[in-house]
Amino acid sequence: MDDVWNNDGDWWRHISSYLPEGEKCNQSIIITTRNESVAKSMGVTRIHHARKLDETESWDLFCTVAANRQTSKDSEFETVGREIVKKCDGLPLAIKTIGGLLSTKTQSLHQWKQVSKNFRNELANRTSVPATLQLSYDDLPAKLKQCILCFSVYPEDYEISAEQLVYWWVGEGFVLGNEEKTAIEVAFECLLELVNRCLVEAVKQRGYDGRVYKCKMHDMVRDLIIKMAKEAAFCSFDEINKQKPEVNSRHLGYTREMDEKLLENNSKLRAFLLMESCPLPVHRNTGLATVNSLRVLDLSTNKLDSIHVEEMWSWIKSQKRLAYLSLRRISSLEELPDWIRRQQNLQILVITECSNLKRLPSCITTLQSLVVLDVDNCPLQCLPRGLGRLTKLQVLSGFKLPSPGKDGTLLVELKDLTNLRVLRINISKQDEIADDEAESLSKLEQLQILSIDTKDCDHEIIPLMDKLLPPISLQELYLRSYHGDTSPIWLNPSSLPELLYLYIEHGELTSVRTDFWGNTGKPWKIEGLCLKYLPRLEMEWKTVCSKMKYIRYLEVSRCHKLQSFPCNVNNYGVWEKEEEERE
């Protein structure tokens, strides 16, 4: 049990009552805490006081985080680095944090010296860890400072969805796109940089490239960020650093213990995020209902059992500047109102996993500013016709083809979405693709990520899949629940010359086509390969290595017939190419 702060209440007594006792018990429970009295109050009889790292351990940890091959072998870098490590006084968090900062400055000895100099000045009146954290924060670019302040609204030890953070940053304009990358792509890079600087901890991360899915913040870092958020008037806190709503609040992570009446007549609130499923206090003309200045509104996981849906919609309707709206996992949501067309500033609309959402209004196709539309895992029969008018759309998740006789967006309409970067398609066995639609996806020249899920299909899906010809620009491909015995006809390096990551999960695949492996003139560029729950698939590792010469990451789960693979194929295994092998 990590980071226990108190033993108030009966929670520990209740847990410990189920634990085995006596001489035959050979199991232990490890508790970490910063308060020895807490450990004693829990009945701990053996207390271990964590020691500081010695000089060798400190240097090894620093090199792991901060140094690359050049800096670790350069005597000048080593001299400055050892000076910095000495000032960290053996504290692992200090070493990791300052190391994360220096990892972005690996080519500049002058910058390392400046960090050492400033660090020494900071240490004059402070302990090393706060000095290290403050220095790391001060070193952030203005854009990242704005982004990291968002963590202050989340409760301690809260696991945060990376997607929620990214959409918040984009919706409020903290992160902008450029000629080469969209704002969403830049935002994910910003989050990864915060992780690499050891200011944010990745809880769930993709092994192939480090993409963050979930994250949290260490409480010592959080204390600093709350301090900086107070100074920047980013949000409001009480004397024990709990967020509180008030008339001047600008950003709020709402919990059931807050008094929403304190928000009455607030004209500055820009972001409102529900931190837990609780009643949404939007009674007419009181408290939260009087707020109409939001740009970010995330009501994820709220079941809406305790309020009138009409009151909620009335409140949302008043948010004329709304750029990001998430209604994810709201089970009571059955349809979107037609007035949604008036939200012309809306850029990001997330209504995924709404188990009772049956219909989207046709007017959703008039939201000309929309860049993200996520309706994945909703029981929609199809998306309304006219989706091709959303020409700014960059992410479309949950696209479904209309069944015969249904009026909805056809595959051919997608070719007009020329800015689309991410497309996730769900296909059912009733779906049809006309011959004149076959090349529609290939027209999406900006598409980088394609996910195809055919879990509601059978073997008859093979001819349909062969018609889904992806564009040559594709970099990541996800095939889920594919029922074909062999790979789709277009899954080869000639058709997908830029593919870097291939993910195949669940299905009846037994082998791949001969042309899957390509030829000498058109080899694969794949760097990451993920194969999961494919018990019939036969493949030899030596073939993978010879045909995918750039592969550096492999992830396998329950693919029992794979031969000579360098990791566990029966349960779960990961292999990564050593850096020396890559060169």
For the stretch 271-326, pLDDT in tens is 999 887 777 777 766 678 888 899 999 998 676 655 567 778 888 999 999 999 99
Judge if 146-223 and 404-583 fold alike in CATH terms: no
How high is the pLDDT of residue 425?
Answer: 94
Q: Residue 582 pLDDT > 80, yes or no? A: no
* Alpha carbons 406 and 536: distance in angstroms, whole number: 36
For the segment 338-360, the average pLDDT, to the nearest whole number, is 92
Contacts of 315 (CB under 8 A, 6+ apart): 282, 288, 289
How high is the pLDDT of residue 124?
Answer: 37
pLDDT digits (tens, 9 = 90+) for 52-102: 788 999 888 988 888 665 566 678 888 888 888 888 878 787 788 778 778
Angle at 374 between CA 373 and CA 378, to 5 degrees: 135
User: Which is nearest to 431 in space by CA: 455, 403, 405, 459?
Assistant: 403
pLDDT digits (tens, 9 = 90+) for 242-280: 888 888 889 999 888 888 777 887 889 999 998 877 777
For the segment 436-456, the average pLDDT, to the nearest whole number, is 90
**Greater model confidence, 360 or 463:** 360
How high is the pLDDT of residue 424?
Answer: 96
Pick the CATH number of 404-583 from 3.40.1420, 2.60.40, 3.80.10, 3.10.450: 3.80.10
Sign of the C-alpha dihedral, residues 132, 135, 140, 142? positive
How high is the pLDDT of residue 186?
Answer: 96
Q: Residue 583 pLDDT > 60, yes or no? A: no
Q: Residue 447 pLDDT > 90, yes or no? A: yes
Q: Residue 477 pLDDT > 80, yes or no? A: yes
Q: Residue 119 pLDDT > 70, yes or no? A: no
* Alpha carbons 513 and 531: distance in angstroms, whole number: 16
Cβ burial, residue 74 (10 Å; 0-12/13-18/19+): middle
Contacts of 482 (CB under 8 A, 6+ apart): 452, 454, 461, 465, 488, 504, 506, 507, 508, 509
Tokens of 315: 């409140």
Q: Residue 580 pLDDT > 60, yes or no? A: no
Give the CATH class of 146-223: mainly alpha
pLDDT digits (tens, 9 = 90+) for 381-401: 889 999 999 999 999 999 998
pLDDT digits (tens, 9 = 90+) for 215-225: 999 877 888 99
How high is the pLDDT of residue 232?
Answer: 92
**Greater model confidence, 313 or 553:** 553
Q: Residue 194 pLDDT > 70, yes or no? A: yes
Give the pLDDT band (50/70/90) at residue 579: low
Angle at 459 between CA 455 and CA 465, to 5 degrees: 70
For the segment 131-159, the average pLDDT, to the nearest whole number, is 89
How high is the pLDDT of residue 135?
Answer: 79
For the segment 202-208, the average pLDDT, to the nearest whole number, is 91
Q: Residue 569 pLDDT > 70, yes or no? A: yes
Mean pLDDT across the chain, nearest whole number? 86
Phi-psi region of 106 (alpha: psi -120 to 50; beta: other; left: phi over 0): alpha
Q: Residue 526 pLDDT > 50, yes or no? A: yes
The 10 Å Cβ neighbour count of residue 448 is 19
pLDDT digits (tens, 9 = 90+) for 395-422: 999 999 887 778 888 899 999 999 999 9
Check if the beta carbon of residue 474 is closer than 8 Å to that of residue 496: yes
User: Which is nearest to 383 in space by CA: 356, 402, 370, 411?
Assistant: 402
* Alpha carbons 69 and 106: distance in angstroms, whole number: 10
For the segment 485-513, the average pLDDT, to the nearest whole number, is 94
The CATH number of the structural domain formed by 235-380 is 3.80.10.10
User: Which is nearest to 41 in space by CA: 76, 83, 13, 74?
Assistant: 13
Give the pLDDT band (50/70/90) at residue 126: very low
Query: Structural domain boundaries of the chain?
Result: 1-50, 55-138, 146-223, 235-380, 404-583
